[in-house]
Structure 1
Amino acid sequence: QTHYISVIVHNHDIGNFMLDGEIVPRSSFFFIASSGFSSASLTITPGTHTTKSFTAGHGITVFGISDDGSYGYPAGAQFEMLNQARDNQPPICFQIASDDNTVLVGVTDEQTEDTNIDGILQESEDVNGNGILDEDTGIGSAFLNYSPYVPGALTLSRSFTLGDSSAIFSVTRTPNFEAVASVVVYDLADNFCSVEIEFRGPTPAPTPAPVPLTFSPSAVGEIEKDTAGNEFYLSFLRNFDHDLDEANAVELYLSSPTLAVVNVEFPVGSFYASRTLVAGETTVLTLPTNSSLGWVPGFFVQSNSIRVYAEQPQLEFDVYMVNYANLTTDASLALPVDALGSKYVIIDSANSVDLVTVAPPEFVVTAVYDNTLVTITPSEALVTTGLDTFTVTLNRGQSYYGSPQATFGRVDDVTLSGTIIDATMPVAVTNGVLCGEVPTGVIYCDHVFEMAVPVEAWSTFYLAAALPLRPLGSVYRLVAYEAGTGFSISTTDGESQSGTLNRGEHWDSGELTGDIIIVADKPVFAVQLMTGVDRASTGDPSMVNLVSPEQFVYHHTFATVTNITETYVSIICSNEDVGNMTLDGSVIPAWQFSAITTTGYSSAVLPISSGTHMTESVSAGHGITVAGYRNYESYLYSGGFKYFGDSLFQPRIGRGKKWLDSHNW
């Protein structure tokens, strides 16, 4: 057998390089193009050999050849581990919820420097300046450290798959064991994050009863509020985690009339991202999916909400919320802090019993001020608390997530509509259904949610345009806050219904065709519910808040939802604006509008292309509803609105009774 050594050396070492203590002649080396290195192939005897260079390191390969076979191997090397995954960003760790003996820790690792999702690294995207488009690798491992250490006193559950973009870990203590602990989570590129938790003392005392705020009447004034704002506290609801053809996407659609810099915290208090808004354009910001999937039923206090705010103190912008998953999607207009209230009534779509255990009705209450006492009177037995009225204390950014108990043996539908929220200070509320049927029992279910409107913004008069692609009509649900609330609902197709609701009761219309007129003798709130695909050829259940004509505004900037391509805008405007209304700067022809009986308003339903759009009216404000469809999913959301509310936290009941006389209720 013949043995050889192949050597690659730096050109400066030619004439100095040594094999077994002897200099290798220059004539043995050949330049490797213009690389600055040269190579040599040398015959060696059986046994042990040594090589040495002086100016720079060198590499060797040893091999042998005979009639019966061959071998080859490289020599050792000095190297630096390179992050081939291009992940220089650590995961994000945060505490979600806690009770006496358990703390839940959330982790997300789904960041990317490719903020505009074009696959190209822009200079503004290169956060760490490494010239590489960095992507996160997903969760790799998790560890628990605590002091004082007693084996088994604290345990960490780790239920995740390598590479997951988000996960929830729970740390549980043996009763009354006191310790300071740290949960450390690594991604697959060995970046890590940690969160400190603390267990102290025995079971805490029950939450004290709320102490109502009192105000001097002279200090309370009525001011105009609207849905554009400087600061928002937002909570998405749980959606199905399909993990099918398309991943879940939790998104904010942001728009501003002027150039603005907007910051996002998730969870509240932890910086997540910053975006620059260009006037007249919509900016989409993607949040960790854990902002939707991270809620845990039965935990009183959780930290899984989002804060969005402008750096310029006086600047106002609009926010829309989109919770997208393959086959279950919906959207909602967001309400800013200065448009929130302290009293709400939950409204959702009912679900059949066989779906409730996997796709329940749900709501989230989020505090925007510290020491907010929230009293909840449920219409359905909730996880942990049942049907009892209870009070939970929330600090800024903390939330309560509500969902119903299991419903085995029930034969009626399950809904949380009519659940009453009464807080000592303004709170943000989101309500809906993880996957709701409309009507119940009609296939298929779809994610349904809206940001709830406070009682002080309710009205006694609502209009709704018939939804496109729904030949059998839509369902309407009403809730009341005051006992003995009378109402009527009529359609442009000649149908009418009426009834009376007590405090916390709800009413469903059944499927109605045509445009809708709702009139009440006391303020109510109403939503429009899109029916399941079995009632049409495309789309599935969605929910949208109705807006009273007295709350219409003159201008809307809105955008279609990515991945859903068939979209319509429904417009309701004053008859005086028919022939003057514009969409994207072009006048909408008068013939496309139809009068809504004798209300003084008309409606039009128009197909629109994907992207950002604007509507404007001249004589009076107008309202819009955006509807998107794709196969077995859809979304609905309303445009912005305004209302008159109190300048302080004093709750009151909505206005609008002037409509009663003119509409002959």
Structure 2
Amino acid sequence: MACARLAVSVLALIALFTCSPAVRDNKGTEFILTFPENLNRDNLDPKLFFACPHHGGADVRVTLLSTGRNERVRVAYGQVEQLEVDRAAVELVGSQKGNQAIHILSDVEIVVYGVFADRDSSDAYLALPTDVLGTEYFVPCASINEQGPRKPAEIGVVGVHGGTTVTIVPSQAVTFDGQNYAAGQAFSVGLDRFETLQVQTTEDLTGSKITSNHPVAVLSGNMRAPCLPAGVPQIGSSDHVVEMIPPVDTWGKEFVTVPLTKRTCGDLFRIVAARNNTQVVVTKENTMTLNAGEFWEIDVPSDDYRHVTTSEPVLLVQYSKSSDADNALADPFMTAIPPVAQFEAEYTFSTVDLMSDQSEPTHHINLVTRSAGKAGLRLDGQPLPSDTVWHDVTGTDYAAAQLNISAGMHTVRHISPIVTVGLVSYGFAPRDSYGCPGGQRLARIAAPCSTTAPVPADRVDNDCDGRVDEELLNGMDEDGDGLIDEDLATISCAGNREQYRTCLVEQCRNLVP
């Protein structure tokens, strides 16, 4: 009888792993994207970069909705494929509605980047699949205080479903489709599937709120910006900056900041609040209270690592400054910093060859993990280089490192599925740069929560503690909350064919009373 129960348990576990729904992260089979406006210089076309974590590769179809053009791309495992897309068909222009959407479908989950490289004005964003998009956003942009013609901040929105009503509350006065709206004055726009809109103004739109009755894709940034501290004249070398924004229900309450390698002028960080009375605590700073839509900008030295905690979910964004700030072979970019609760245990990511000047490009990653887990990290299947320098984050058990990497596709993982890592990928060239997360979980950790039965690697906060997939199915309390096996990570039974059956049986013993 016990053997029969064990056999049933093994079959149940196999079904659990093979039939579980797609998890919430940056990998997906459908993406709906666009490109906010870049400064018009050399009229270079934007690009899509595709990376596939599946050994069988991926068949990808890309449709430009404004022209109806279809492209098919075969993405092999371990390779990065690029596709140039017609700028006129996909670039948002002005403050108005449009139809510059890009629809991407794949037969297996892939990683997608949007890359917009014009002469000395480039950035990239990590694309988010349609299954993790939301209905509430607050956006980051960069300061605007330029001498001479001012380049606008901008927000882009793409409809994912028909009959969508998008409501925008701008943080600054804007003109949209010929109508003027004051700062804080809400206005609504109807979007059907694949319709787009862009809102622009020559003031900083950080903190603007976007809500909708159906999920939408949201991007924000600046047509071009030097990314210097607010209140400082925004002069010097500048870049297009853009990021695809995660919805508020995926935001977090704990972060670690890591400086950018090669820079000596420090980095800017903005903390954007979604809820009133958000208490923000940052190492070496006074406590700040933010209301919804407000932000706190911090200028952190290039040798400093900070810990950020908040009472309510926030968005943290990092900015690389103008090259004129320290005469580095670099320039501005903007990247969201994933919260600790959304760190992954395994990443597949790619560098992007976006710079128009390819004479001296360099590529880098910033890593954050628990100090006790450093030895288990693997880059492209190998231990980290022996000369990797780790920096302890004051007042925490986290450590951070900066690594130089080669161009192309890479993997970072930890040998334990419950030891997670934060990863930001970026690159520099003379007066050019890009930066974006290497990936992240996108669990709804900031949404109302009800306890659910544990399902391994479901990216659901089964125990409602603000974390996901933090335990193994082994009868132990790995997260120290007094509960056993209550929010399960992947069980690594498939790594060794000879031990697969034994592994399954051992894990199933925990399911048998």
> For residues 186 and 423 of structure 2, what CA distance do their matches in structure 1 show?
37
- Residue 317 of structure 1 is matched in structure 2 by 110
1:382 aligned partner: 174
Q: CA RMSD in A?
A: 2.6
Identify the residue that residue 313 of structure 2 maps to in structure 1.
Answer: 523
Partner AA of 2:208 in structure 1 = T
Deviation at 1:578, TM superposition (A): 1.1
Q: State the TM-score, normalized to the length of structure 1.
A: 0.59
- The partner residue of 1:438 within 209, 223, 227 is 227
Deviations 1:589-642 (A, max 9, x none): 465222223422211111112222221112312121112111111111111111
Judging changes above 3 Å, is the alpha-carbon distance between structure 1 residues 568 and 656 closer, same or farther for their aligned structure 2 residues? farther
CA contact (8 A) 1:436 1:446 kept: yes
72, 76, 90: which one pairs with 1:278? Answer: 76
The separation in 1 between residues aligned to 2:180 and 2:30, in whole angstroms, is 32
**Aligned: 1:233 with 2:32:** yes
Match of 1:139 in 2: none
Q: 1:480 aligned to 237, 262, 273, which one?
A: 273
Report the equivalent of 2:351: 560
- Aligned mates of 2:119, 2:86 — CA distance in 1: 16
Which secondary structure state, in structure 1, belongs to the residue aligned with residue 141 of structure 2? coil
Cα distance, 1:648 vs structure 2: 11
* Structure 1 residues 478 and 279: alpha-carbon distance in aligned structure 2, compared to 1, 3 A threshold: same
Do the aligned residues in 2 keep the contact of 1:486 with 1:499 (CA within 8 Å)? yes
- The answer on whether the counterparts of 1:539 and 1:630 sit within 8 Å (CA) in structure 2 is yes
Structure-2 change in CA distance of 1:573 and 1:346 (3 Å): same
Matched ranges for 1:356-435 at <5 A: 358-383=150-175, 384-387=179-182, 388-404=185-201, 414-435=203-224
Q: Is the 8 A contact 1:461 1:656 kept in 2?
A: no
Say whether the 8 Å CA contact 1:341–1:649 is kept in structure 2: no
1:546 aligned partner: 337
Quick one: which amino acid aligns to residue 615 of structure 1? Answer: V
Alpha-carbon distance, 1:333 to partner? 0.7
Deviations 1:335-370 (A, max 9, x none): 000110000001111111546x55210011111000
Shift of 1:322: 0.9
| SS of alignment partner, residue 504 of structure 1 | coil
CA–CA distance in structure 1, aligned partners of residues 422 and 434 of structure 2: 17
Amino acid at match of 2:196: S
Q: Is residue 2:33 matched to residue 1:242? A: no
1:459 is aligned with what amino acid? G
SS in 2 for 1:578: helix
1:197-208 correspondence runs (5 A): none
Whole-Å Cα distance in 2 between the matches of residues 592 and 248 of structure 1?
A: 38
Does the residue aligned with 2:324 lie in a helix, a strand or coil? Answer: helix
The question of whether the paired residues in 1 share the 8 Å contact of 2:272 and 2:296 is answered with: yes
Does the 8 Å contact 1:540/1:633 carry over to 2? yes
Are residues 1:631 and 2:392 paired? no
Give 1:464's aligned residue: 257
Among 410, 415, 420, the alignment partner of 1:613 is: 410
Please state whether the residue corresponding to 2:271 is helix, strand or coil: strand
The AA in structure 1 aligned to 2:86 is P
**Counterparts of 1:649 and 1:285, CA distance in 2:** 39
Alignment deviations for residues 301-357 of structure 1 (CA, whole Å, 9 cap, x no partner): 3101111111x3xx21111111101101111111000110000001111111546x5
Query: Using a 3 Å threshold, how does the CA distance of structure 1 residues 598 and 489 change in structure 2: closer, same or farther?
Result: closer
Provide closer, same or farther for how the CA distance between residues 545 and 647 of structure 1 changes in structure 2, counting only shifts above 3 A. Answer: closer
Amino acid across the alignment from 1:532: S
Q: 1:582 aligns with which of 357, 365, 378?
A: 378
CA drift at 1:587: 0.5
Contact 2:137–2:245 under 8 Å retained in 1 = yes
The runs of 5 or more residues in structure 2 that have no matched partner are 1-20, 450-460, 468-479, 481-513
Select the residue among 520, 532, 546 that pairs with 2:322: 532
Task: Quote the residue 1:290 is aligned against.
Answer: 88
Instruction: Map 1:117-128 onto structure 2 (within 5 A).
Output: none
State, as a whole percentage, how many aligned pairs show the same letter: 26
CA distance in 2, matches of 1:577, 1:353: 45
CA distance in structure 2 between the aligned counterparts of 1:421 and 1:362, rounded to whole angstroms:
13
CA contact (8 A) 1:460 1:656 kept: no
CA contact (8 A) 2:248 2:446 kept: no
C-alpha distance in structure 2 between counterparts of 1:393 and 1:354, whole Å:
36
Structure 1 distance, partners of 2:52, 2:291, is 40
Pairing partner for 1:601 from 374, 398, 423: 398
Contact 1:466–1:516 under 8 Å retained in 2: no
Whichever residue aligns with residue 521 of structure 1, its letter is: S
In the alignment, the residues of structure 2 paired with residue 646 and residue 348 of structure 1 have an alpha-carbon distance, to the nearest angstrom, of 24
Q: Which moved more, 1:450-459 or 1:601-610?
A: 601-610
Which structure has the higher relative contact order (CA within 8 Å, separation 6+)?
Answer: 2
Unaligned regions of 5+ residues in structure 1, if any?
1-221, 407-413
Aligned to 1:108: none
Q: Deviations over 1:533-584 (max 9, x none)?
A: 1222221111110101211112222222224521111111222331221112
Which residue identity is paired with 1:550? A
Pick the aligned partner of 1:308 from 72, 97, 104: 104
Off by >3 Å, runs of 4+ in structure 1? 646-650, 654-658
Cα offsets for 1:452-489 (capped at 9, x unmatched): 11000111111121111111210101111111111022
Match in the other structure for 1:346: 139
Q: Max radius of gyration: which structure?
A: 1
Mapped to 1, the partners of 2:446 and 2:174 lie a distance apart of: 33
What secondary structure, in the 3-state scheme, does the structure 2 residue paired with 1:226 have?
coil
Cα distance in structure 2, aligned partners of 1:240 and 1:353: 15
Equivalent pair of 1:526/1:545 in contact (CA under 8 Å): yes
Letter in 1 for 2:92: W
Q: Shift of residue 226 of structure 1?
A: 0.9
In structure 1, distance between residues paired with 2:119 and 2:222: 16
Matched with 1:253 is 49
Name the structure 2 match of 1:174: none
Q: More strand per residue: 1 or 2?
A: 1
Q: Map 1:127-146 to 2 at 5 A.
A: none
For residues 226 and 361 of structure 1, the distance between their equivalents in structure 2, rounded to whole angstroms, comes to 28
Instruction: Give the aligned partner of residue 293 of structure 2.
Output: 504
